[in-house]
Amino acid sequence: MPTYEYRCVAGHAFEVFQRMSDDPVDACPECGKDVERLLSGGAGLIFKGQGFYITETRSEDYKKKQSAESAANAKSTDSGAADTTKSSTDSSSSGTPSTKKAPESAKPGKD
């Protein structure tokens, strides 16, 4: 339930803790004159940092752990890529004859 701030025409200010569905207060409890509800900034929403994303306000310890983890993942990915590259070059140099055609001038029987 929110707390609403009110001010009467005589200048008295007060707060009322009431439901959103309740009717607004229309009389000052001190003098009985008309009141108006004031706009309030409220609480519960905190903006921090550059772009207001929760990941931007992470602790330094968390950031260090994340960078160490991503470095470890990069190393495992690089070693896996090196293994596949090595195996593909090994199979290409296995002594299999080439399927390239010989140039026309090198063919025997033509003069």
pLDDT in tens, 6-42: 999 999 999 898 898 999 898 999 999 999 988 876 6
What gap in Å lies between CA 8 and CA 26, rounded to an integer? Answer: 9
Q: What pLDDT, on a 0 to 100 scale, did the predictor assign at position 20?
A: 86
Q: What pLDDT, on a 0 to 100 scale, did the predictor assign at position 46?
A: 66
Q: What pLDDT, on a 0 to 100 scale, did the predictor assign at position 59?
A: 76
- Average pLDDT across the chain, whole number: 74
Are 6 and 36 in contact, with CB atoms under 8 Å apart?
A: yes
Structure tokens at 86: 């090595």
- What's this model's pTM, rounded to 2 decimal places? 0.37
